[in-house]
Amino acid sequence: MSKVAEYRKQLKVLLEPPEHLVDETSQDSVEGSGTADAADTQPEKAASATAEVSDEPAHVWDAFLLENSGLPGPRANLELADAVADEGEEELFKRYAQLGPEEAPVDSPSEFLAFCGIVGLGRLLGEGDRGVLEIVQNAASDPRWRIREAVAMALQRWGSKDFVGLMAEMSRWKSGNLFERRAAAAALCEPVQLKDGWRARAVLKILDDITASIEEETDRKSEGFKALRKGLGYCWSVAVSAHPDEGKPRMERWLEARDKDLRWIMKENLGKKRLVRMDKEWVATLQARLTENPA
């Protein structure tokens, strides 16, 4: 059993009524079975007993998630976050997602709750609930880097169910603020989103447009610019390795750019092992071109 499956099982168990409540409800059913009046009250008794633990069932997860968050630390518990996204409900996701930097600061266990909330909203987007899109889009500009990563994961969940819908929205985000552009690139440049040629071509077009926007930026010390630059530093390698015929010529054109940040982005991508595995000779040729033609 995978870790995600194990966590899903544990989360389901946490929502089950305690044994003593189940036993009491069963006993009441037996004792009252002889009279019509007692029988009439059974649904009310059962509902009352269950309400003790399920009136707000989502809250029973809080302590478990905080304890198993993996934070503070270098890596949040992504497997648990996936399980929460699979098993949670909209009310839970929204409650977690509204935890801001003050309530859930960077690298705190509480930040993990916010992380899970955003990833979970991605599942709802995949199920057709566009009402949560504004929350996800706002989170793309969150000052916490893990929350921005959660946005990319949420969008990937959406794309796994409705790639056309995701592409339509990312066609708008590509012209958004720096953080939104970074989220679009990170969400789309994932192998699962590039499993066939037409998808890869569509993603490469958006990636091209986002990359072109770099030249227009004047404040290159902002956190948004740094995030976008870093993201583009690997996104091209993912997209090109997924569809070399389309990706190679698009990437080659950027080697002619004189912009120092664009050249840095291309250099970073050429250093990724996935491109070397794809075509070692092609990579070596492009690296030589960058060296021979400095900005």
pLDDT score for 56: 53
Can you tell me the distance from the alpha carbon of 41 to that of 39, in angstroms, rounded to the nearest whole number? 5
For residues 44 and 31, give the distance between their C-alpha atoms in angstroms, rounded to a whole number: 15
Q: What is the pLDDT along the chain (295 residues), one digit of tens a residue?
A: 799 999 999 999 998 876 644 455 445 544 444 444 444 444 343 333 333 434 455 588 999 999 999 999 999 999 999 999 999 999 999 999 999 999 999 999 999 999 999 999 999 999 999 999 999 999 999 999 999 999 999 999 999 999 999 999 999 999 999 999 999 999 999 998 898 889 999 999 999 999 999 999 999 999 999 999 999 999 999 999 999 999 999 999 999 999 999 999 999 999 999 999 999 999 999 999 998 877 6
Residue 252: per-residue pLDDT? 96
Residue 293: predicted pLDDT: 73
DSSP string, 72-118: SSSS--HHHHHHHHHH--HHHHHHHHT--TTTS-TTSHHHHHHHHHH
At residue 60, the pLDDT reads 87
Q: Write down the pLDDT at residue 246.
A: 92
Residue with tokens 């982005």: 265
SS3 string, 124-174, reads HHHCCCHHHHHHHHHHCCCCCHHHHHHHHHHHHHHHHHCHHHHHHHHHHHC
Q: What is the pLDDT of residue 50?
A: 34
Q: What is the pLDDT of residue 16?
A: 82
Q: Which residues contact 250 (CB under 8 A, 6 or more apart)?
A: 204, 207, 208, 240
